[in-house]
Amino acid sequence: MKKILLTLLSAILVVGLLSGCSKDDANGGSSDADNAAKEVKVGINYELSGDVASYGEASVTGIMMAFDEINASGGINGMQIVPVQIDNKSDSAEATTVATRLMTKEKVVASLGPATSGNFMATIPVAMGNKIPVISASATADEGVTVDAKGNVNEYVFRLCFNDSFQGVTMANFASGNLSAKKAVIIQDKSSDYAEGLAENFVSTFEASGGTIVAQEGYVAKDKDFNAILTKIKGQDFDVIFLPGYYQEAGLVIKQARDLGIKAPILGADGFDSPVLLELAGAEALNDVYFSNHYSSIDQDPMVQDFIKSYTEKNGSEPNAFNALGYDLGKYIADAIKRAGSNDPVAIKDALASTENFAGVTGSFSMGADHNPIKSIVVIGLENGVQATSVKVDPK
């Protein structure tokens, strides 16, 4: 009898242990599943160090502000956004590596960035191969971004900004129409596809309006001394200088031009938009300087002014265009995930493509069939380094 009781007790203990293990396993699995259901992972592949870190840092600050607001208000369909942020070091090869890690190891449902066209394009094969949407708020290159060399739309690739041809055309029209310019000099970064695209479209549009390109000079990225170029053009007859390039060189060109007594208006594009431009050129040199951009801080639209107020309170400084673009990008991907109703990257891709009348700080837009937004552009005029004028140009 005693032996029977011991056997029964042993059996009860074994069943209890098995039940306990089964319950723990179920709870553990359920907990993991619950956590996954409450989160949505979004990759952030940006230039946080290196040559164009100013753009990447500004973009990410805007993205994170948008994500913080969304999470604080309950998230997306009850899910909290979990950003997975990795520095691509302003390097295209590194951007590819980061994209691969985000999509294959981190299992993000979409990836935001990089900021520059070359770095963004380096991530496109990874996105297409893994069927994960990638979106840049500032990759403006005309070719190789949302449409491939054969004219096919890259199904998983989107951008939130206008392209370089629109900027080049806009600045040429601004030169001839707003500044009554008849003769122009171009000083461009010969090492940059960005600058090349801007210059080509400026030249064709300016000449079509009856203007003449007096001279076309070039430099390469990281040059510091532009006096030879500027001395060469100083004695020529021209009304404006078009300076397609990035702020690092543009700031120095503008300063050295003004130091040589060149007073003609200087025009550029969104590559001018960085606080570093003012640091390099100095306030006194930044008069009669105009550049195309994605938004203007002097725009009196209530959405713009509310964003500026909130951003300034949160970060202690006024936002630039890359902050605003990043903010819109964060809101845009969240809106698409919400409309998709799931974490499925294919459904999210479809939602991104079907976007209509999205209201953003950098302008309202609908997504075109080529995955480029249909939106307006702004031409900003500087006085002593401060935004003084803003002209909005709608797409034709």
pLDDT tens-digit series, residues 130-139: 999 999 999 9
- Whole-model pTM? 0.79
Residue pair 138/121 in contact (Cβ under 8 Å)? The answer is no
Residue 185 pairs in a beta bridge with 215, 241
CATH number for the domain spanning 353: value is 3.40.50.2300
Residues 264 and 350 reside in one and the same domain: no
pLDDT value of position 392: 86
Tens-place pLDDT, residues 341-382: 999 999 999 999 999 999 999 999 999 999 999 998 999 999
Beta strand ranges found along the chain (DSSP E): 39-46, 80-87, 110-112, 134-136, 157-159, 183-189, 212-219, 240-242, 266-268, 289-293, 366-367, 373-374, 377-383, 386-393
* pLDDT score of 394: 79
Q: What is the widest separation between alpha-carbon atoms in the chain?
A: 117
14 has pLDDT over 60? no
C-alpha 208/C-alpha 201 separation (Å) is 11
Q: Residues 224-269: pLDDT tens digits? A: 999 999 999 999 999 999 999 999 999 999 999 999 999 999 999 9
Average pLDDT over residues 196-219: 96
Average pLDDT, the chain: 91
pLDDT tens by residue, 26-74: 444 445 555 556 899 999 999 999 999 999 999 999 999 999 999 999 9
Q: Which two tokens stand for residue 73?
A: 């208000």
Query: Both 113 and 140 in a single domain?
Result: yes
Q: Looking at the domain assignment, is residue 284 inside a domain? A: yes
Instruction: Kindly state whether residues 47 and 135 are assigned to the same domain.
Output: yes
Structural domain containing residue 81: 42-159+300-375
The answer to whether 137 and 161 are in contact (CB under 8 A) is yes
Cβ(88)–Cβ(45) below 8 Å: yes
Span 267-320, pLDDT tens digits: 999 999 888 999 999 999 999 999 999 999 898 899 999 999 999 999 999 999
pLDDT at 13 > cutoff 60? no
Handedness of CA 267, 271, 275, 278 (dihedral sign): negative
Same domain, yes or no: 173 and 80: no
Q: Are residues 275 and 195 in the same domain?
A: yes
Q: Is residue 119 part of a domain?
A: yes
- Same domain? For 234 and 335 the reply is no
